[in-house]
A and B are shown apart, each in its own frame.
Chain A
Amino acid sequence: MEALAETVRRLSASSRRTYQNPYEAIAWPDDLDRRQWFTSPQFVSLYGTPAWESLDDDRRKELSFWEAVNFYSLNIHGEKALMEGLAHRLYQPGMEAVAEYLHHFLDEENKHSVWFGTFCTRYAGKVYPDRKVVFPRDHAEGEADFLFFAKVSIFEEIVDRYNVAMGRDDALVPVARQINANHHAEEARHLVFGRRIVQELWREWSGRWPDEVVDGIRSYLTAYVEATWREYYNPDVYRDAGFSDPWKLAREAWDHPATQGHRAAINRSCLRPLRQVGALEAP
């Protein structure tokens, strides 16, 4: 953990320097015309599929609104689990060296959830429900902490690819562009921290774990990557956008070569840190 100390000091100083009031960072219109882009077309889950081709421009924009509600909803659920895990690890023995930054991480995640929750409740009147379930299980020493930060890293790396592109997309309605840009600005620090702590925990523990634990971690993280991506193909979105068989559409969209290519391209860069340390195998 000592190797992380300099990174923690640098990231904490940056968090304090750019500290922002979440209630002033975004300009919230009273209401929104849905005939605008809320998600960049290439990040709409149906992009490149026959269903996308069948839609006219207004319906594509309406779909892009519900896709934004889903993207923000899955961020809310991801950040809830993240905040629980961060709070649990504050001043935990072995985590003292990073406690200073965990405070900032926790604070910033809470702010992000304010933005995501405000958009969903104000403009859609709801947050899409979370279908994830956790079964309790035993872990080897050090395994739970490693898996927690590895999952955070996977989740946030994927989200950030969307944020970076959509934070710069002038075609997006300003409130959506601001949410993505502001989220990326703070997530950039979280990604640096995530990569470093995953590297450090793997270096510290992997040599002490028996082979079956290491193999189990690799299998689990591979399954976690797929489960994370599955949330981007949400039948609730397709139902709200007016499709008649949303579950079939979700399956077809998931299986389509265009979406497989999209996920593979993003995975290549997002999963590199975990592949480099050996916690994930190359595809």
Chain B
Amino acid sequence: MTEPDVREALRSWIAERNPELPPGEPADDTRLIERRYLTSLQVADLLLFVEELRQQPIDPASLRPGVFRSIDAIHSAFFS
């Protein structure tokens, strides 16, 4: 997948779980956790979605703080 495809897929995943999102949200740098667009209970599901986009498992023990902060952060941690 290209970088824009990955970002759009992540954006769609967040938007599907937040139907009340204003147009244009979330932007690539939107703080997903602070804005409550992403909850702790959704992270495991998001991790599986990222694994599927990469077609490669992720070792949860390797996760560093802040990797789910924004779409930019997710892209940088798992797709760069």
Chain A contacts to B: CB under 8 angstroms: 129-135, 220, 223-224, 226-227, 230-231, 235-236, 239, 247-248, 250-251
Contacts and interface: CB of A to CB of B under 8 A. Distances in A.
Given A129-B59, A129-B60, A129-B61, A223 B39 contact: yes
A235 B41 contact: no
A239 B51 CA distance: 13
A132 B60 CA distance: 8
B33 interface: yes
A226 to B, nearest CB: 8
Contacts of A247: 48-49, 51-52, 55
B44 to A, nearest CB: 4
Contact of B45 (A129, A220, A227): A227
A235 B41 CA distance: 18
Contact of B51 (A134, A224, A235): A235
Given A227-B45, A235-B51, A135 B60 contact: no
Given A133-B44, A134-B40, A250-B48, 9 more contacts: A129-B61, A133-B40, A135-B39, A223-B39, A224-B41, A231-B44, A236-B57, A247-B51, A251-B52
Contacts of B33: 135
B43 interface: yes
Contacts of A248: 52
16 contacts: A129-B60, A131-B47, A131-B60, A132-B43, A133-B43, A133-B44, A223-B39, A223-B41, A223-B42, A226-B41, A227-B45, A231-B44, A235-B51, A235-B57, A239-B57, A247-B48
A226 B63 CA distance: 23
Interface string B15-38: 000000000000000000100000
Contact of B44 (A132, A236, A239): A132
A198 to B, nearest CB: 19
A227 B17 CA distance: 14
Contacts of B45: 227, 230
Contact of B40 (A135, A226, A250): A135
Contact of B43 (A129, A131, A224): A131
Nearest to A129: B60
B60 A235 contact: no
A129 B57 CA distance: 11
Contacts of B60: 129-131, 133
Contacts of A235: 48, 51-52, 57
Contacts of A250: 48
